[in-house]
Amino acid sequence: MAGGRSSERGAGPSPRTRAAIARRLAAASGRMTTAAVAEMDARHPWFSALDAEKRSWITLVAQAGIDGFVRWFSDPDASATTGADVFGTAPRALARAISLQQTVELVRTTIDAVETQLHEVMPRNDRAHLQVAITRYSREVAFAAAEVYARAAEMRGAWDARLEALVVDSVLRGETDETVLSRASTLGWRSTQSVVVVIGADPDRDNALDDVRRLARQRHLDVLAAVQGDRLVVVLGGEALADGDAAVTEATHLVAAFGPGPIVVGPVVEHLVDAARSARAAVSGLRAAVAWPTAPRPVGTDDLLPERALSGDGHARRALATDVYGPLAAVNGDLLDTLTTFLDCGSSMEATARALFVHPNTVRYRLRRIHQVTGFSPTDPRESYVLRVALTLGRLQR
């Protein structure tokens, strides 16, 4: 054991020798900094293209690194002197001005320049000790650089998440002004057409937002997402969202990112400025979807018009009265009478024909016309329910 401790102490210079080398090293530090910056200029064209302010920041970092090496060599066990001190002199903006890869290149260049200077300006007896020391110290600096960029990325990610949540909240509240558009652009939003809001249950897991962003980008869609209470709100944009059916189709690829329960797709709007209309319908649809337990997942808000109307959504009531009942009333009374009788007769062709004193083929023709006019087929159980509610609301409105 004693021999081990003795060999460990003999592995490096004595304290007196170390102090003498450190003094000689400190005297040459200015020359080393100048050589390091000159080497950066020669090796890296992108460094030469930086403006004077950013070059001065990098020069300060290089000088801090070399001075830190001198202090560290004087006492390598001192906890106050670490590789992290190298980047303490640089402003945070430096991490945005140059990439991590470029920082690694600068560290490598600085170490190479210092090693060259050590062989040129330091006495021969000092070089072996300094070579070992610079190898250890460069490792500390490399770890410090990685920590700086990791911390910057973490802070940027946290800020982006807060900013994205603010944008989504503004969309839900109908406050999408130029400021919100600018923030969305900062987050990577590029779509200028076909925007839709999708709302479902929050899956209550940490990577839910990452999942929905990944799935949306695989479909080449712009995406903004946030968790609000127990809901996951997703704003999508892109050419693929041409109409309501296309939007529902695209939303099926995001189902895995949501929690259990209904997923509602709002109507397609033209721009992010108009997304509040899609969000309003989606929120109403999510609230009303419980009344249709067998609804598809996802489901469009237009498919939930009856449930939305019954839950108090005035927009849904007007849509049924105006867009479904209105065209029927405008055509002729035969279609309204036929639809009412058909629904009252339990969707029986023969019973309807007898009640109207017409041939069953006439009933079939009129039912096809109702489908053409309204977009809903009286012979489909679900769509006949939509038509029944539309008849009621249309008569109430009249």
Domains and CATH numbers, the chain: 9-155 (no CATH), 179-304 (3.30.70.2730), 314-397 (1.10.10.2840)
* Residues 286, 291, 295, 300, CA torsion sign: negative
Q: For each of the chain's 398 residues, which pLDDT tens digit applies?
A: 334 433 333 456 777 787 888 888 888 888 888 888 888 888 888 888 888 888 888 888 788 888 888 887 877 665 444 555 556 555 555 666 777 677 777 778 888 888 888 888 888 888 888 888 887 777 777 777 666 666 655 555 556 677 888 888 888 888 877 888 888 887 788 877 899 999 999 998 878 888 998 999 899 999 999 988 889 999 999 999 999 999 999 999 999 999 999 999 999 999 898 899 999 999 999 999 999 999 999 999 999 999 999 999 999 999 999 999 999 988 877 899 999 999 999 999 999 999 999 999 999 999 999 999 999 999 999 999 999 999 999 998 87
In this prediction the pTM is 0.64
Q: Which of 104, 96, 103, 91 is nearest to 56 (CA)?
A: 91
Pair 287, 307: CB distance under 8 Å: no
> How many other C-beta atoms can be found within 10 angstroms of the C-beta atom of residue 111?
19
Six-digit token string for 200: 């479902």
- In angstroms, the CA 123 to CA 342 distance is 106
Cis omega before residue 262 (within 30°)?
no
Pair 59, 34: CB distance under 8 Å: no
Read out DSSP for 177-211? -HHHHHHHHHTT----S-EEEEEEE----TTHHHH
What is the enclosing helix (H) or strand (E) of 168? helix 124-173
- In angstroms, the CA 132 to CA 288 distance is 72
